[in-house]
Amino acid sequence: MRYPFLLILAVYIAFVNATELTFELPDNEKQCFYEDLEQGAKFDIDFQVIAGGNYDVDCFVTDPLNNMLYQERKKQYDSFSHTTTMKGVYTVCFSNEFSTFSHKTVYLDFRTGEDDRLMPDTNRATALTQMESACLSIHEILKVVSDSQTWYRLREAQDRIRAEDLNDRVHFWSIGETIILFVVCIGQVFMLKSFFNEKKANVATST
């Protein structure tokens, strides 16, 4: 109920393969993702813990021979880039094995390949026209806008989860206070009733 979303979005543009996904990582568990890459391929990884515990997770990347390319422990967010030296399956793993009760929600952005050139003939000797320069400028601005939108979506999801968690705590605290209030009121009623009963008994005894 606290994590009402599981988003898996795969986008393929030109020569760039990009995968964005948000997944839940239970406590004492590890989850790995595998990608078959050619030699000389470049890949980029961005991840961020958006919910759970202290917002940290272990992450490591290995090559087809199981050599460690990247390893970080208890990171809230980070980025990693690498150019492959061999063909094979590369592994990206996230571990929450150090946590005994906190589930984590992790965002992962995995990109491979190089951006296709917007204008393949830009190596020509002549200068760019005003229209071509404007297109290149708009292209770069749109990339920045896309990154900003992703950042704001992560912030919104993180803040929403925190707000829902705070709302649950306030809700349960209010229920607890209500129960305690009823118990105190009932106890006071019985205590006052016992005072009057004792007074009546003393009057009856004296008469």
Say whether pLDDT at 194 is over 90: no
Q: Cα dihedral sign for 193, 194, 198, 199?
A: negative
Class of domain 18-116: mainly beta
At 6, the pLDDT band (50, 70, 90 cuts) reads very low
List Cβ neighbours of 128 (8 Å cut-off, separation of 6 or more).
122, 136
Say whether pLDDT at 191 is over 60: yes
Q: What pLDDT score does 88 carry? A: 92
Measured CA to CA, the distance from residue 42 to residue 84 in angstroms comes to: 6
At 12, the pLDDT band (50, 70, 90 cuts) reads very low
Residue 120 vs residue 82, higher pLDDT = 82
Q: What pLDDT score does 122 carry? A: 54
Tell the residue number behind the tokens 């708009």, with chain if given. Answer: 138
Strands 88-95 and 30-37: antiparallel
Residue 106 vs residues 63, 120, 143: alpha-carbon distances, Å? 22, 37, 23
Residue in 133, 139, 141, 134 with CA at minimum distance from that of residue 118: 139
**Per-domain residue ranges for the chain?**
18-116, 129-196
